[in-house]
Every structure is written in C-alpha cells, then in structure tokens.
Amino acid sequence: MKARISTININAFRGIPQLEISTERRSLLIKGDNGTGKSSIIEALEFFFTGTVSHLEGTRGISVARHGPHAHYTTGDVKIEISFDPGDTVLSRTMARGPSPNKSLQSYFHAAATGTFVLRRSQILKFINDEPADRYSAIANIIGIEALDSVELEMQRLRDDVKSEVDAKLENINDLLVSLSESLGVSISSFDEVLPALNRKTNEYGFPSLPTLDDLEKYNQNLYKKIKKKAQGLDLAKNLEELLLLLHPNLIIEERLERLKEFGAKVATLVNSKAKSTMKLLELLNTGKDIIGTDASTLCPLCGQPIEKDPLLSALESRIETLTLLSNEASALRQDYGLVDKDVREANGKLDQILSRITSQEGFSRLAESLNQESQFLTGFLESLARSKDLVEPLPTEVFNAHYSELTSLLERARQQAEQDLQQIGLTEDEKRLLNFTGILGVVNEKKNAYQSLKLKHETKEKQYGRAQKIYEAFSSAKKSEIHQIYAAIKDDIQIFFNRLHPGEETRTIQLDIIPTRRASTQLLVDTLGLNQQDPRGLESEGHLDSLGICIFFAFVKKFNADIPLMLLDDVVTTLDSGHRHRLAELLIKEFSEKQLVVTTLDNIWYEQLRAAERVHKRENEFKHIEIVGWDLETGPRILDYKPAWESIDKKLNSGDKFGAGNQGRSYLEWILKNLYEQMELEVRYKMPPLYQVGELLPPAKSKILKMIADDPFEKRVNDSFLELEGTSMMPNLLSHDNPRAEELAIGEVRIFCDAVRNLHLTFSCPACGSFLRYFRALGLIKCSNEECEGFLRIKVRK
Amino acid sequence: MGVSEEIYKQFFAKLLEDSTFKKSFIARLRKLADEGQINQETLRTLIEAQDSNESKN
C-alpha cells in the first residue's frame, strides 16, 4: 500500500495559527474565497517536504525564514506535523529541523525534495505570458533547478572576472615593452630583444657588453660608484633624474583615457536603461496601488488573486537587476573593467612613486601635499569603478576629468622644478651623460624584474581562465542538454493533454525548447490556424494559454514525479470556461488517480465539477471536501464543520499557549453551535452576509433548547453547561466582537473557558459512543445520532 | 534521479574527461556543490589552490 497523508497539523505558519486537517488517506478538495488561507495550507505542505516555499525564495527581501512564521508567532513556534498511513508515522518540520523519514517513506521524501508537485496560478501566468528568460525561470521553478541558475551565473561571472585579469596582465606586459623601447631608443616587440638592444647602448657609451640581464643591477651599481667618486651632488641629481623619468610620460596615455571615457558611457547607458525600466514598472505598480487603495483591498483588480505589494515590487526590482546583469552588455562590461581598473591603478602606483621621491626633495612640500590629495581621489575613484561595474551607480567621469586635468598641471609644475633643481647642481656634460646612462640601466633593470614577475602571473591567470571557462561551459552545456531532453520527453504528453482538454478544436502542435544562444531562455511555439512556429500569446485566448500551462505542468508531473504520491494545485483554473473546466476535472481525476491530490479553488463551479467527476468515476470516497468560510489573523482559516482535537487544545493549555488554546477553543465552540442548530433542528433567521458569529448564536441556542427539553436532570445539566460557559472571562469578548483577545487573559482563565466548551460538548454527546445527540421529531425525543450505537440515552421533548 | 542531480552528474562527467582537472580538484568541487557553496569566491579559491598545488609538485 502506498504511503498517504492521514493528518496535517499546521502550527504558526503563514496565515494559519493552528489547524488540523484529518484527510484519512483521501485527497483534499478545498474551497474558499480569496484571502481565506487556502494557499497557506499548500505552502505548509510544500514547506514540510522541501524546507522551503518556492515562491518565497529567490526574491530580495523575502524568505521563508522571515515570512514563514505567522504574524503573531516567532520562528520557534513554526511546526508542521504530518501523519502518514500505513504505519501511523508522525513526522514534523520546524524552522530548525526537518523530518527524519523511516525507510518506507524515504523514497517519498526524496522524490518530493527533488521533484515537482506544486502548481500555482502565478507559475502558469509566468510561464505563458513572460519573455523566454522568465518562462525558463518558471520551468526552472517547476522542475526545481532555480538554484542552478545562480550557480551558473556565479561561474559566468568568475570567468568574466578572470578574463579581465588576463587581459590586464597582457596589457601590462605590452606596456613594459613600449616603455623599454622608449628607454633604449629602438622598437622592441619581445623581451628577447632587450639584451642585444641594451648592449648596443653600452657600446655607444664605451662600456663592455653584458653577457646576461641577470648581472644588470650589479653592473649599474659599479658604474654609478665610479662616477660618484668624481662628481659632487650626484645622489641628488640621480634622484631628480629618476623623478624626471617618472614625470616624463602622461600618467595615463591618451587612448586609455579614451577607453575610460567609453567605459563610463557604457555604464551610463546600462544604468540608465535599468532606471527607465524600473521607472516604468514602478509607474505600473503605483497605478495598481491607486486602484486597490480606494477600498484597501489586497486583491489584484485584474485577476482577483491576493497580492502583496511590497514583495511584488521587490520581486520586480530583483528581476530587472538579474536580467540586466545577465545581459551580454553587462558581461562585456565586466570584462572591460579589468583594463580600466588596471590603467587607474597603474597611474596611482606611478603617482605614489613620484610622491615618495618628491617628499625627500627640498622645495616640493606644497606640490607633494596637492599631489597627495589627488592620489586619495584616485583611490576613491577605483572604488567607484568597482561599483559601476556592477551597475550600482554611473561612473563619475566628469569629476575624474577635472581631477586628472589638475593632476597633469601639478605634474608639469613638478617637472619644471625638477629640471631647474638639476640645472643648479652644475654637473659637467660628461657627468650628465653618464648619469643618464645609469638611469637607463636602472629603468631597464626595474622593467626586467617587473616583466619576469608579470609573465609568471599572466601565465597563471591564463591557466585559471582556461579552467574557469571550461567549468562554466561544462555546467552550462550540461544544463542545456538536460533541459532539452526534458522538453523532448514531455512534448507528446503536453500535446495529448491539450487535445483532451480541447477536443474538436483547431489542431495545434506545441513546441517547447531552449534557446541555444542564450543563457536560461525557453521558447514556446505553436503551429496553429495554418501558421507555423507562432508565439501562442499572439493567437490563443487567455483560457487556452492557462490550459496550455496546466498541460505542461501535468506533463512534467507525469514524467518526473511518478514517485511522489502527492500533487498540489493552488487555484489554477481562473480563466477556463465551464466546458474546459469540466474536461480538466475529468483529466485530473482519471489521469492522476494514483496521486493524493490537494486542490484549492475559489470557484464554486469548478469545485462542483470536480465533485461530479468524483461521483461519475465512483471516487467520491477518495476525497475529503473542505469549505473555508472565513479568515482572520487571530484564528486563521475558519473551516465549515471544523472541530479542533481536544488533545491539541489541552496540549496548548499545558504549554502556556493561551492565544492558540483560546482560538482553538472558540473554533470548538463554533463547531458545537453548528451541530446544535443542525441536530436539534433549531431554527435560525436568514441573515445577509457576513456569517453569524459565536456571540450571536449562543444565547438563542440556549433558550431554544431549554424550551424543548422535558427531562429535568438533562435540562439542569444543559442549563449548568451554558451557565458555566457564560461565566468565563472569554465570553464577554466573544459576545461583543468575536475576538477572544486571549492575550489579555491569564492561562487559567483560558483553561476555564476551554473546559466549559468541552463540557458543553460532552453534555450533547452520547455517553456510549461520543456521537452528537440528535432531535428525532417523529419520535419526540433526543437520542444518539449514530444509528449503530447501542446506548440507552433517551431525552423527552416537550410537544 | 532529480533534474539537478542529473545536471551535476553530467557536469562532473565532463570535467572528469578533461585532464586539466585533477581528481582531487573535482572532489573538492563536488563537495562545494553538495554543500550548496558554489559561488565566485569559493570557485576562485579552488582554482587558485590548484595552481599553488601544481607549483609545489
């Protein structure tokens, strides 16, 4: 026998403070208006099996941890407890700990954790109406691979970043060769050409050739010592020479400044388009908010579904951000970033070198101060660059230009002063020539060391890029290939289901596939009305689109979730017409007869059609029907004919949960009153909605029953039971506005109320079997309603 | 087998075919995947660690 759910016990989750539903292995058909907590039941089941609620995750600012607990409870109060049959296994999930299924339930849980068993109307809408990227996202949600998208994105971003680092290192190397060419006065295209070029230079100056570049530093030191013996003030002159070499070229060459400008323009375009989209969406939301705001409704004016404005806005912003970051432009921008970051970083490095020389030089203190400020600006600008790469803000290019212009002017002043100071030292022409030569040797030596280090780093980065690229490609292609296979595997079922829902209509061929050139995109096309490969949104009615979405889900469930004996459908038929709903009911009852279904709906016709399909296929005993007649934050969904278990109330009383116990006690009293009116045939005057409340029904029930009874001991017991209840501290609240306000009471007072409610129930229960007593008009007496009961209780009734 | 598991299976099979990746590297990546810890930082650390191990060997 396959495992099935026999009891669902929900505590402090979403819109439900406490609710116990006994399914007795049957499927559940739940009817209720918008905002009555139907979806909370579905969410509790999803949370129990998966530890999450899919539509609460993946959106910034929304999570199960934050939005899972009921508004009056904390994370620690959340508990979903489910009993399974056979085996009478009871498992629970809290926020901190998941269920530990035994061996017989392990495959059920594994399949539920990895597969698809929940369909919501929002998913259908998203699937059909959105762009390929969003449609893919809906499928990813259905087949449970949303998390893999972010993994893929992380891989892609790492690849982009490492690629940018490789490009930056390569450009550094090329810059070094350009710099060496300038120093040696010949064009050098590879590092192997440096030694021959340097030796030509040493020979020009009348010095011997160097065998290798390894000895360059020592060679230069010896030469410098020789010159220093003859010349005065050579150290100062050397420092000034080196300073002049640093001051000679621009900090950033013209074409790289242009590159920085282009980068800034790209950032501005992307940030601007992002802002425009956000503005449009905000406009849309604000319009909706204005419409809803007039009657403070939380329902969408278009589809009548409950909406939460803040999470919706957050979801849209998050969607814009993800799509913007995913776009090819954003990817290219991330790759360009490495080069511009390198340019600014190099400029700042060079400025630091200049500053370290200027600081030790007399007469440069004011210049040093100004240059130091510009260096600080460049450091801050590097942070702006990093933020602009992620499109957090535009790049302040104009501010940079102003600072760079000031910096160029300061450097020119430094150069003039250095030349003037050097002139004043009074070296001979020969000394100047030799000093210039040792300067060249120094520069070549410095560049040689830098080159060797960079070459090594570049090779390492190349390897890392190769790996990052391979990892991304392997993951991306595995994902595309698997999803392609999934689509191919379910294509026939989608078609079959769709034809069954739409018999005798124009033939449609449905195609579903990934877009190979794009990351995370899915196209949905139909051949219909003589046209091939058409976007269904252009040709199909909203009802057809909805049923197409449902068929796709059914195909997914049939193909991939055979191991999950559970399927949850949350309000999925809003736009289907009656004929199609009827066929959908038939399809569901026949095709998924092996599954335990939980179907919620606000639609009375669909509810009745499903019940009719149950009867036609002789499966009415396999379904339990629940009607939710109201909801409020304190009590949660108010289910017609709902009686909380006394054990549950007692447990809450013992644990000090006066709020939970008070609410359940009230639900218990509602159930007793409903039964009293029905079983005792008490007349109730017709009243326009809203429904009668406890406080309105209790006094007339007492008065009518006492008038009926002609048995003194029972009359006394009934009177005492009602008096006991009326005397409790909670009753004034119930009588006044149907709100127990249990938080103002002591736990002892709540217990007195609950005990009185229970006593009232016991008064009207058969002492032999516990069934509710019933008035038998023809017999003129009250006795047990259970025909099989052998109890002897008989209570006379006045004529 | 769930869709996610199948994708990871194919992914790791592709990496195993590639001699660029050592088995120890793939094992560490698999561990990250199992723990749901694959992100830019962890991947970068892993990739850089392979270089450092190679240079030691």
For the stretch A344-395, pLDDT in tens is: 998 999 899 899 888 877 888 889 999 999 999 999 999 999 988 878 888 9
Q: CA nearest A109: which of A45, A17, A158, A154?
A: A45
Whose structure tokens read 């999450």?
A52
Residue type, A3: A
pLDDT at residue A192 in the model: 92
Instruction: Please report how many Cα atoms fall inside a 13 Å half-sphere around the Cα of residue A651, on the Cβ side.
Output: 7
- Spatial separation of the C-alpha atoms in residues A83 and A86, rounded to whole Å: 9
Q: Which of B12, B28, B43 to mutate to test the interface with A (most CBs of A within 10 A)?
A: B43
What are the φ and ψ backbone dihedral angles of A12, each rounded to 5 degrees? 55, 40
Closest residue on chain B to A114 (Cα): B2
Tell whether B14 lies on the interface with A, counting CB pairs under 8 A: yes
Q: Does the structure show a pLDDT above 70 at A325? A: no
Q: CA nearest A274: which of A224, A229, A198, A330?
A: A330
Give strand ranges (E) for A33-105: 79-85, 89-94
- Spatial separation of the C-alpha atoms in residues A632 and A713, rounded to whole Å: 39
| Residue A474 to residue B11, Cβ atoms within 8 A | yes
Q: In this predicted model, what pLDDT tens digit does every residue of A392-446 receive, in sequence order?
A: 888 999 999 999 999 999 999 999 998 898 888 888 888 888 888 888 888 899 8
Yes or no: say if A138 and A127 are a contact pair by the CB < 8 Å rule: yes
pLDDT at residue A16 in the model: 92
Tell whether B19 lies on the interface with A, counting CB pairs under 8 A: no
Closest residue on chain B to A465 (Cα): B47
Query: Chain A residues with CB inside 8 Å of B47's CB?
Result: 158, 162, 464, 467-468
Q: Does the structure show a pLDDT above 50 at A686? A: yes
Residues contacting A125, CB < 8 A, separation 6+: A546, A549
Residue A240: pLDDT band (50, 70, 90) is confident
Q: In this predicted model, what pLDDT tens digit does every residue of A545-578 receive, in sequence order?
A: 777 778 877 887 777 677 788 888 888 876 677 7
Cα of B40 to nearest chain A Cα, Å:
5
- Spatial separation of the C-alpha atoms in residues A453 and A459, rounded to whole Å: 10
Whose structure tokens read 């017989």?
A104
Mean pLDDT: which of A68-82, A98-112, A146-160, A314-328 is highest?
A68-82
- Structural tokens at position A635: 């009590």
Cα of B53 to nearest chain A Cα, Å:
12
- Spatial separation of the C-alpha atoms in residues A223 and B45, rounded to whole Å: 46
Q: In this predicted model, what pLDDT tens digit does every residue of B8-41 receive, in sequence order?
A: 999 999 999 998 888 899 999 999 998 888 988 9
CA A47 to chain centre: 15
- Structural tokens at position A529: 């009305």
- Spatial separation of the C-alpha atoms in residues A348 and A355, rounded to whole Å: 10
Low-confidence winner among A31-40, A267-276, A316-325 (lowest mean pLDDT):
A316-325
- Structural tokens at position A636: 């949660």
Nearest-by-Cβ selection for A482 from B7, B43, B44: B7
Nearest-by-Cβ selection for A474 from B3, B15, B44: B15
Give the bridge partners for A597, in sequence order. A567
Q: DSSP letter at A68?
A: S
Domains of chain A, each with CATH number or no CATH? 4-117+561-639 (3.40.50.300), 254-426 (no CATH), 649-796 (no CATH)
Q: Does the structure show a pLDDT above 70 at A62? A: no
| Residue B2 to residue A114, Cβ atoms within 8 A | yes
Residue A465: pLDDT band (50, 70, 90) is very high
Query: Chain A residues with CB inside 8 Å of B43's CB?
Result: 154-155, 158, 468, 471
Query: Chain B residues with CB inside 8 Å of A145's CB?
Result: 3-4, 7
- Structural tokens at position A626: 């629940």
Q: Does the structure show a pLDDT above 60 at A282? A: no
| Residue A477 to residue B14, Cβ atoms within 8 A | yes
Tell whether B48 lies on the interface with A, counting CB pairs under 8 A: yes
Q: Which of A109, A116, A158 to mutate to test the interface with B (most CBs of B within 10 A)?
A: A158
Cα of A463 to nearest chain B Cα, Å:
8
- Spatial separation of the C-alpha atoms in residues A676 and A655, rounded to whole Å: 31
pLDDT at residue A54 in the model: 74
Q: DSSP letter at A70?
A: -
Q: In this predicted model, what pLDDT tens digit does every residue of A97-134 receive, in sequence order?
A: 999 998 888 888 877 776 668 877 766 666 666 666 66
* Structural domain boundaries in chain B: 3-56
Query: Chain B residues with CB inside 8 Å of A325's CB?
Result: none
pLDDT at residue A296 in the model: 46
| Residue A464 to residue B47, Cβ atoms within 8 A | yes
pLDDT at residue A306 in the model: 57
Tell whether B38 lies on the interface with A, counting CB pairs under 8 A: yes
Cα of B15 to nearest chain A Cα, Å:
7
- Whether ipTM > 0.90 holds is yes
3-state secondary structure of A505: coil
Cα distance from N-terminal residue to C-terminal residue, chain A: 53
| Residue A470 to residue B20, Cβ atoms within 8 A | yes
Does residue A503 have a cis peptide bond before it, meaning omega lies within 30 degrees of 0? no
Whose structure tokens read 């060496």?
A180
Per-residue pLDDT averaged across A604-612, rounded? 85
Residue A739: pLDDT band (50, 70, 90) is low
Tell whether B21 lies on the interface with A, counting CB pairs under 8 A: yes
Could you tell me which residue, A788 or B51, shows the higher pLDDT? A788
Tell whether B4 lies on the interface with A, counting CB pairs under 8 A: yes
| Residue A115 to residue B2, Cβ atoms within 8 A | yes
pLDDT at residue A315 in the model: 53
Question: A345 vs A261, A378, A379, A399, A458, CA distance in Å?
Answer: 16, 8, 8, 17, 17
Cα of B57 to nearest chain A Cα, Å:
15
Q: Which of A463, A482, A557 to mutate to test the interface with B (most CBs of B within 10 A)?
A: A482
Whose structure tokens read 């499966």?
A619
Residue A598: pLDDT band (50, 70, 90) is very high
Residues in chain A whose Cβ is within 8 Å of chain B: 113-115, 143-145, 147-148, 151, 154-155, 157-158, 161-162, 460, 463-464, 466-468, 470-471, 474-475, 477-479, 481-483, 486, 560
pLDDT at residue A292 in the model: 47
Closest residue on chain B to A483 (Cα): B3
Q: CA nearest A443: which of A228, A70, A731, A180?
A: A180
Closest residue on chain B to A486 (Cα): B3
Nearest-by-Cβ selection for B44 from A114, A148, A158: A158
